[in-house]
Copies of this chain bind each other. A is one copy, B any other.
Amino acid sequence: MFIIIMNLQLDQIKDKLIEHNIRPSYQRIKVLEFLLNHDIHPTIEEIFHELAPDIPSLSKATVYNTLHALVEGGLARVISIDENEKRYEAMLKNHGHFKCENCGCIFNFGIDIDQLIVSDLAQFSVKEKSVYFKGLCPDCIKKQILIIKEGN
């Protein structure tokens, strides 16, 4: 029973790829599955290490190729909130990204990005909008307060 459910999920992902004109190889299905089921904005490295046990022959070049294909096909997007690393996520609408400068975690937050209409850009054709914030997450704020208290 469990296996049937799993197969259904994989079939749905396969269909998504076909809809977007991406040939549904096993590697691509697994990468997209990982993005859809883990909202952790992984790097290429993280995706590779996560999938390598399941696909022993997996090559990092394939992970690069796959993510390019997914981005190209509109199924994933790059998050460049941190200029030193590229992170990826399955395409979702209307959220921004917050990166904690202490722990490095990236959080989604709800924001109506389409509402951001800018008069300066009246003559422009805007196709993609990204909102990136940085600062401290609640956990790290608590930790910093503790450190300050201990320090005194």
Question: Chain A interface (Cβ within 8 Å of chain B)?
Answer: 78, 80-83, 86, 96, 98, 101, 107, 109-111, 116, 118-121, 123-138, 141
> Which listed residue, B98, B124, B138, touches A138 by the CB 8 Å rule?
B124
Q: List 28 A-B contacts (CB under 8 A).
A: A80-B80, A80-B83, A83-B86, A98-B124, A101-B127, A109-B121, A110-B118, A116-B131, A118-B133, A121-B133, A123-B137, A123-B138, A124-B135, A124-B137, A124-B141, A125-B135, A126-B133, A126-B135, A127-B134, A127-B135, A128-B133, A128-B134, A128-B135, A129-B132, A129-B134, A130-B130, A130-B131, A130-B132
Give every chain B residue within 8 A of A118 (Cβ-Cβ).
96, 109-111, 133
C-alpha spacing A147/B107, complex, angstroms = 42
Give me the 3 closest cross-chain CB pairs, A-B, nearest first: A109-B120, A127-B135, A123-B138
